[in-house]
Amino acid sequence: MARKQCQVCGQPATVRVEANLNGRHSTMLLCDDHYRQLVRQQKRTVSPLEALFGSRSGLFEDFLGSDFFRIGDDATPVAAVTDDVVDASCGEPAAAGSGAPRRRGSGLASRISEQSEALLQEAAKHAAEFGRSEVDTEHLLLALADSDVVKTILGQFKIKVDDLKRQIESEAKRGDKPFEGEIGVSPRVKDALSRAFVASNELGHSYV
């Protein structure tokens, strides 16, 4: 079977992105680099998860230009696949039964485990406490520091969790007062999560 190619640069594709924009279902294949670029262009929404997977109808147009969909209207649809390309969803939720059959879940959001979701929400709390409007890597690291797995890894390097947390808290950027409102996600966190999805797929795992 021929290797699927990124529809932007022609490199091997690792992510299949689907969207239903203004009632029109579209599918495209992206490599790691162009998927991360797409993720970084998402705007701030209501919560960390929505900031990662929220509905922004202009996302594809901003990434590829408005002509992509006009050209795509006459293009051959992406065929059903049995390879290891990861599925992703952007824009409005795709209508039930639309698009080609897929071996995995219906989108990246469906592959976030409850533990990962809880960590993102905890990181959002840290960001708000620090007076920041976006979850950044330091807030995510603070949330991860209490994980048993991370504690074990830090212990192997003789790093004390409390010392690490104190250093993060002392060096993290802070606002004048706790932030109240919509919490977004920084490009660095989106990039980290996109890498986690790729690693999860390579390991054959169903969830991040």
Please indicate, yes or no, whether residues 42 and 61 belong to a single structural domain of this protein. yes
Please indicate, yes or no, whether residues 127 and 99 belong to a single structural domain of this protein. no
For residue range 136-154, what is the model confidence (pLDDT) as tens digits? 999 999 999 988 989 999 9
Nearest to 17 by CA among 29, 25, 6: 29
Residue 30 lies in a domain: yes
Copy the structure tokens of residue 154. 């830090």
Residue 66 lies in a domain: yes
pLDDT value of position 152:
93
Residue 134 above 70 pLDDT?
yes
Q: How confident is the model at residue 40 (pLDDT cuts 50, 70, 90)?
A: low
Least confident window among 18-22, 79-83, 122-126, 190-194: 79-83
Residue listed under structure tokens 């991360």 = 36
Residue 2 lies in a domain: no
* Phi, psi dihedrals of residue 72, rounded to the nearest 5°: -65, -20
| E strand map for 31-183 | 86-91, 134-135
Structural domain harbouring 46: 15-111
DSSP label at residue 23: T
How far is Cα 47 from Cα 52, in angstroms, rounded to an integer?
A: 9
CATH number, residue 164: 1.10.1780.10
Residue 191 lies in a domain: no
Residue 64 lies in a domain: yes
Please indicate, yes or no, whether residues 173 and 135 belong to a single structural domain of this protein. yes
Residue 32 lies in a domain: yes
Q: How many domains does the chain have?
A: 2
For residue range 66-118, what is the model confidence (pLDDT) as tens digits? 333 333 344 333 433 334 455 555 444 333 334 433 333 445 566 778 888 88
Please indicate, yes or no, whether residues 138 and 69 belong to a single structural domain of this protein. no
Please indicate, yes or no, whether residues 75 and 52 belong to a single structural domain of this protein. yes
Task: Give the predicted TM-score (pTM) of the model.
Answer: 0.51
